[in-house]
Amino acid sequence: MGAVERNCRKLKDRVGDGVELCAVVKANGYGHGAAVCAAAALRGGASRLAVAAAAEAEELRLHFPEIPILVLGALTTDELRAALAARADVAIWREGFRELCSRIAEDLGRMVRVHVKLDSGMGRLGERDPDRLIELARACVDDQRLDVAGVWTHFATADEEGDSYLGEQLAAFVPVAEAVRELAPDCVVHAANSAATLRDPATHFDMVRCGIAVYGLDPFGRDPGERDLEPALELHSYVADVKRFERGASAGYGRTWHAPEDTWVGVLPIGYGDGVRRGLSNNAEVLVGGRRYPLVGTVSMDNITVDLGPDTDVEPGAPAVLIGAQGSERILAEEIAARLDTINYEVTCGISGRVPREVID
């Protein structure tokens, strides 16, 4: 949790006093645990939280009665009702949705907070037409039950260094943000994810929405240390068994690995049921006793096997690290992502619910 707190403090320092940090803790805090990470982020200077789903907002509201929580995602009518009842801010980009928010606000007997969203080029949620979005904002302002709390957009290529599309999206967003701010002077203008926050101060506006960097993972897929970020998560297991393999003996389903020589094989009780993806079969390393050992054979649902070599002093019970540091060795989520041809986000989000989370303060 110290790492999350420090990462947030650095992000906050980077954006400066006038800019709020909204910590994105959707998908169980990118697999790290939403409420504990939210608490650490708030200690580190975040002043708001964001999630994707209504149930995530409801859960966080129990822990944080007063902190503004923004639901970024699309909501069904029931989900919208739940999110607004939990006093979350919601995203809005269609007239029908505005009417629904207004009706729910009437039922709740209070104003509800909406953030009008421009699709400036992400091609996902949001209104594409700038004039229609401004019209929607005007309709919200004219509606006594709605508080236009924000105007926002989301970038498609902020993590691609040297790209020019971010500039195009920014150019599309700025006039809309200015027009909405004229209509609703107190609304918060926000656009930047972690990559944009680190890459271009012009994207910061009133608030940045950082997820991946909060957890000390690099939005550009590089070593987080290069940007002074500290990974917050480690994934640990242990060696449950050590057995002698004669040359040619195979490990695991499909016999995808045969011992090239007489060797010792360690069996670790962790598998794709825990989020260790099957694509890591014969394609990863694991730390035991401060050394890297190759993951050999096919990843099973509940087990993996590692080649400990022809002579080993590793004994059953030895701690093993799949992500994190041991001795002077370290395996980053970014390394796992590269092996799987994916992104670090997917690696930590993929750690399943059955893996117990141990919070270390």
Ligand X SMILES: Cc1ncc(COP(=O)(O)O)c(C=O)c1O
**DSSP readout, 296-338?**
ES---SS-EEEEEESS----TT-EEEEEEEETTEEE-HHHHHH
Which C-beta is closer to ligand X: that of 126 or that of 271? Answer: 126
How many other CB atoms are there within 10 angstroms of residue 120's CB atom? 27
Using the contact rule CB under 6 A, the part of the chain among 142-150, 189-197, 327-335, 350-358 near ligand X is 189-197
Which C-beta is closer to ligand X: that of 90 or that of 239? Answer: 90
Residues 6 or more apart in contact with residue 179 via CB below 8 angstroms: 130, 134, 137
Q: Does 14 bind ligand X (CB under 6 A)?
A: no
- Which residues pair with residue 69 across a beta bridge? 49
Using the contact rule CB under 6 A, the part of the chain among 6-14, 191-199, 244-252, 351-359 near ligand X is 191-199
Binding mask of the shown chain, residues 21 to 40, with x at each position contacting ligand X by CB under 6 A: ---x----------------
Distance set, CA 340 to CA 120, 221, 243, 293, 346 (Å): 31, 12, 28, 18, 10
Classify residue 195 by its DSSP letter.
H
Using the contact rule CB under 6 A, the part of the chain among 1-9, 128-136, 190-198, 278-286 near ligand X is 190-198
- Catalytic residue list contains 272: no
**What does the block give as tokens for 212?**
């991946």
Which C-beta is closer to ligand X: that of 24 or that of 336? Answer: 24
Residues 267, 270: Cα–Cα separation, whole Å: 9
- Catalytic residue list contains 243: no
**Do 319 and 326 meet the contact criterion of CB atoms below 8 Å apart?**
yes
Instruction: Indicate the residue whose CB is closest to ligand X.
Output: 211
Q: Does 170 bind ligand X (CB under 6 A)?
A: no
Which C-beta is closer to ligand X: that of 195 or that of 235? Answer: 195
Residue 122 CA, chain-centre distance (Å), reads 18
* Count of chain residues binding ligand X (CB under 6 A): 12
CB of 159 to ligand X, least distance (A): 7
- For residue 241, the surrounding DSSP H or E stretch is strand 241-245
Query: One of 26, 117, 272, 293 is an active-site residue; which one?
Result: 26
- Residues in 139-168 that interact with ligand X by CB under 6 A: 154
Residues 6, 12: Cα–Cα separation, whole Å: 10
Q: Does 212 bind ligand X (CB under 6 A)?
A: yes
**Do 72 and 272 meet the contact criterion of CB atoms below 8 Å apart?**
no
Binding mask of the shown chain, residues 217 to 246, with x at each position contacting ligand X by CB under 6 A: --x---------------------------
- Residues in 53-72 that interact with ligand X by CB under 6 A: 72
Query: One of 165, 238, 243, 253 is an active-site residue; which one?
Result: 253
Residue 86 CA, chain-centre distance (Å), reads 22
**Do 154 and 193 meet the contact criterion of CB atoms below 8 Å apart?**
yes
- For residue 86, the surrounding DSSP H or E stretch is none
* From candidates 33, 126, 150, 211, binder to ligand X by CB under 6 A: 211
- Residues in 288-307 that interact with ligand X by CB under 6 A: none
Q: Does 210 bind ligand X (CB under 6 A)?
A: yes
Active site residue ranges: 26, 253
- Which residues bind to ligand X, rule: CB under 6 A? 24, 72, 154, 193-195, 209-213, 219
